[in-house]
A and B are shown apart, each in its own frame.
Chain A
């Protein structure tokens, strides 16, 4: 087998093949097909329909406690208006300011990328409905890019909870995936002592998130925490990370990476272990170096798992709450507050309407991101 493939060509064979029409499937009667999937559907529907509807209604109403119970007063889109254009705008979206040169550069690059994607889709002959959806998606993405650059890469801008959450997610998922994949790869090489490392690397995920957050609170405390000598050695002994917005955010991100890398690690490990070692060996015998073997043989084989695990982690990462809550309660000020924490703080004082409005904004953002991701990535995997 010759793995010295030309640049850009994928490994032979589509990665995700639709086998639903195969003979194994045709043999199944309607009853069997129903029996396989309906239990799961019923379980999910049972727990999700009512909460979904109820929280949707809550987001367009206001709670009031009444004699013998409570009432929800319908107020239309007031909660959302408050978030997007009203008093909570600087909390939710952030404070926008004129862009720095770097900001302009980044924004221009983002817009260029989106345009290029649209043009390509048009040239590939996408249907009209598809183009309209893509256009909408691109507009939303451009709007998001505008918001992000105007709060992060601007003179005196301040990111709101939505932007901070996006930063957490992008950084977190990227680092966790790279680390997880790297560690999983290392531990599928024949190294003595593998088992020890494998078990140890699983540990962070095993701890309840609330516990992890308290643990990091202990570690980062400059009075009681153990890392003071380390900071002093590096010259940072006077730096109070908790008073610095970005210092606090970095602490949250570090905690997040520490805690969730095992998730990527274990799934990718199982996937890499499932590979046929003979194929890889044959490739390397043929003269491919380690990196080429990985890039052209292993990676394509585990690509579906990679995209799945990134999608799952993406969705989970948007809900980050325990770390910012317990490390600094969203502080300093509102610097580390994530969307979920924003909703939780409102919810705790019974501002259920606002809380649900934030949660539904989160739902909207993540759905758009997940849909785009699924369409762009997995569709490509299933095609030649």
Chain B
């Protein structure tokens, strides 16, 4: 190629690209059509969530129907899950306001509500017939969706953790599902190393996602919760509500850490690097006897594309403890009617509503018309008519959170579960949701730092053997105290109390 044509080519390419780039925006993203003469005719709502198919798929699927009904265009924007928090915050804090609504983790309300980013929807939900607010389980209504007594989100999903077990194995050996963590460990030990799915390879007793910066800290807290909280949700499990002292440096938390580490002995050798994707994959291909996880395993187990253990999966409320923390002395004390008023058969259960359950919230700075349309869309997604179907489909990522969803077994049978499995799964969910001692995930400002940075790093280092158990507890305590003091101790105390709906 001689020099002149080459130069011309270069100039052409440069010119064209600059021209195209200078056109500013890229292609328009998917949005649904609007029709004339509807309530929200011509209004466009931009909803941000993470890339699916979980959570995003039902939103995208139902957007056209909603557009048909109301004339509003719903544009669903997705970003990678691990960066959703930062994207939302950057957008709101800098006043860019490119999103009108979010489907996010209500735990983040601790950071979003005090600066006034989210719209207060208390009055809207109370007056909303179609939404059937009272059908939603009390925990999600009163704790998950509210802050300081006001409601800011519309629940779409119920996230809490349970333990799953291979019902065929336990039935064959006449064992009951684990009620305490000691039970869990003994069952795990029993099945570890045996072939559980008939492929000739040794399998594992327990599979828990212990990967750092993934979900490990929630799993750890699921174990610790029943040692720390026994007097009901309002007691809280992270801090002492009166002094804001972290509850992580005491006998109880130490015992929980020991249990958590011990489960690694009966697990795949890579367990420290497994996140939920891996452990669910292992469980549904029959390689684990036990697992602790959110509700997804139940629906994944009946999906033929992912599972070989259909009808062999049982679920049970998170195992508890017969000894709980005495906050005054910092020691473990036995459970009795005084220390464990909510104990079942002498065992204190504290199911952990880890993460909170994906919910929809509205940007307070959006136009009034847009806010109305956004609220109607969220209400539409959460209404029993739509929600009860979506929670039975594994790919939606929505787990049950309404009373009507676990009373009606037929929907689940229609989705593919056997009647027995459905009753067992729903029974476990009901036990957890109705427990008065459910643990609310931390939602004070900088909750991500408390959990994701300090707690997660220390637990990861402890599991890896980098630091000792007592060292880990000390680190978590020091790290948490530092954040609390930096933010303002009184402020954090008030926020913590507000999240727990503590009336003073």
Please determine if A and B sit in direct contact within the complex, based on CB atoms under 8 angstroms apart: yes
Q: Residue of A at shortest CB range from B275?
A: A329
On chain B, the residues within 8 Å of A223 by CB distance are 268, 270, 278, 282, 287
B486 touches A62 (CB 8 A): yes
CB of A65 within 8 A of chain B? yes
CB of B460 within 8 A of chain A? yes
On chain A, the residues within 8 Å of B457 by CB distance are 91, 334, 345
A348 touches B85 (CB 8 A): yes
On chain B, the residues within 8 Å of A243 by CB distance are 269-270, 272-273, 464
Q: Which of A313-349 contact B (CB under 8 A)?
A: 325, 327-335, 345-349
B464 touches A332 (CB 8 A): yes
Q: A65-B445, A345-B453 are in contact. Are A334 and B115 (CB under 8 A)?
A: no
Contact of A66 (CB < 8 Å), options: B115, B211, B452, B466:
B115
Q: Which of A189-235 contact B (CB under 8 A)?
A: 221-224
CB of A69 within 8 A of chain B? yes
Q: Residue of A at shortest CB range from B488?
A: A64
Contact of B270 (CB < 8 Å), options: A64, A69, A221:
A221
B114 touches A65 (CB 8 A): yes
A69 touches B464 (CB 8 A): no
Category for how many chain B residues contact A:
35 or more
On chain A, the residues within 8 Å of B94 by CB distance are 69-70
CB of B326 within 8 A of chain A? no
Q: A243-B269, A350-B449 are in contact. Are A331 and B93 (CB under 8 A)?
A: no
Q: Which of B446-460 contact A (CB under 8 A)?
A: 446, 448-449, 452-453, 457, 460
B449 touches A240 (CB 8 A): no
Q: A87-B479, A223-B282, A240-B269 are in contact. Are A350 and B446 (CB under 8 A)?
A: yes
Q: A221-B270, A221-B278, A223-B282 are in contact. Are A64 and B453 (CB under 8 A)?
A: no
B465 touches A333 (CB 8 A): yes
CB of A274 within 8 A of chain B? no
Contact of A351 (CB < 8 Å), options: B114, B269, B453:
B453
On chain A, the residues within 8 Å of B114 by CB distance are 65, 67
CB of A296 within 8 A of chain B? no
Q: A240-B270, A335-B466 are in contact. Are A67 and B486 (CB under 8 A)?
A: no
B478 touches A332 (CB 8 A): no
B453 touches A332 (CB 8 A): no
B82 touches A333 (CB 8 A): no
A220 to chain B, nearest CB (A): 9
B211 touches A67 (CB 8 A): no
A54 to chain B, nearest CB (A): 12
A331 touches B269 (CB 8 A): no
A68 touches B446 (CB 8 A): no
CB of B89 within 8 A of chain A? yes
B446 touches A349 (CB 8 A): yes
A235 to chain B, nearest CB (A): 15
B116 touches A335 (CB 8 A): no
A346 to B114, CA, bound (A): 22
B464 touches A348 (CB 8 A): no
- B 267-305 binary contact with A (CB < 8 Å = 1; else 0): 011101100001001100001000000000000000000
CB of B482 within 8 A of chain A? yes
A158 to chain B, nearest CB (A): 7
Q: A333-B465, A351-B449 are in contact. Are A70 and B93 (CB under 8 A)?
A: yes
On chain A, the residues within 8 Å of B482 by CB distance are 87
A345 touches B89 (CB 8 A): no
Q: Which of A277-329 contact B (CB under 8 A)?
A: 325, 327-329
A333 to B287, CA, bound (A): 26
CB of A15 within 8 A of chain B? no
Q: Residue of B at shortest CB range from A88?
A: B479
B211 touches A331 (CB 8 A): yes
Q: Which of B467-504 contact A (CB under 8 A)?
A: 467, 475, 478-479, 482, 486-487
A347 to B479, CA, bound (A): 16
A68 to B92, CA, bound (A): 8
A335 touches B448 (CB 8 A): no
On chain A, the residues within 8 Å of B95 by CB distance are 68-69
A330 to B456, CA, bound (A): 12
CB of A242 within 8 A of chain B? yes
A345 to B83, CA, bound (A): 11
A87 to B471, CA, bound (A): 12
Contact of A67 (CB < 8 Å), options: B116, B463, B464:
B116
Contact of B452 (CB < 8 Å), options: A70, A325, A328, A348:
A348
Q: Which of A343-384 contact B (CB under 8 A)?
A: 345-351
Q: Which of A236-280 contact B (CB under 8 A)?
A: 238, 240, 242-243, 245
B212 touches A331 (CB 8 A): yes
Contact of A64 (CB < 8 Å), options: B89, B268, B487:
B487
A66 to chain B, nearest CB (A): 6
CB of B213 within 8 A of chain A? yes
CB of B411 within 8 A of chain A? no
A87 to B270, CA, bound (A): 29
A245 to B114, CA, bound (A): 41
A242 touches B270 (CB 8 A): yes
Q: A87-B478, A351-B453 are in contact. Are A329 and B115 (CB under 8 A)?
A: no
A349 to B89, CA, bound (A): 11
A331 touches B464 (CB 8 A): yes
**Apart from A224-B278, A331-B273, A348-B82: 14 A-B pairs, beta carbons within 8 A:** A62-B486, A66-B115, A221-B270, A242-B270, A243-B269, A243-B464, A327-B273, A328-B211, A331-B460, A332-B460, A333-B461, A334-B461, A345-B452, A348-B452
Q: Can you show 24 pairs from A to B with CB atoms below 8 A apart?
A: A64-B487, A65-B114, A68-B116, A69-B93, A87-B479, A222-B268, A240-B270, A243-B273, A243-B464, A328-B212, A329-B211, A331-B211, A331-B464, A332-B212, A332-B464, A332-B466, A333-B460, A333-B466, A334-B457, A335-B466, A345-B213, A348-B83, A350-B86, A350-B448
Q: Which 5 pairs, one residue from A and one from B, show the smallest C-beta to C-beta distance?
A: A333-B464, A332-B464, A333-B466, A329-B213, A349-B448
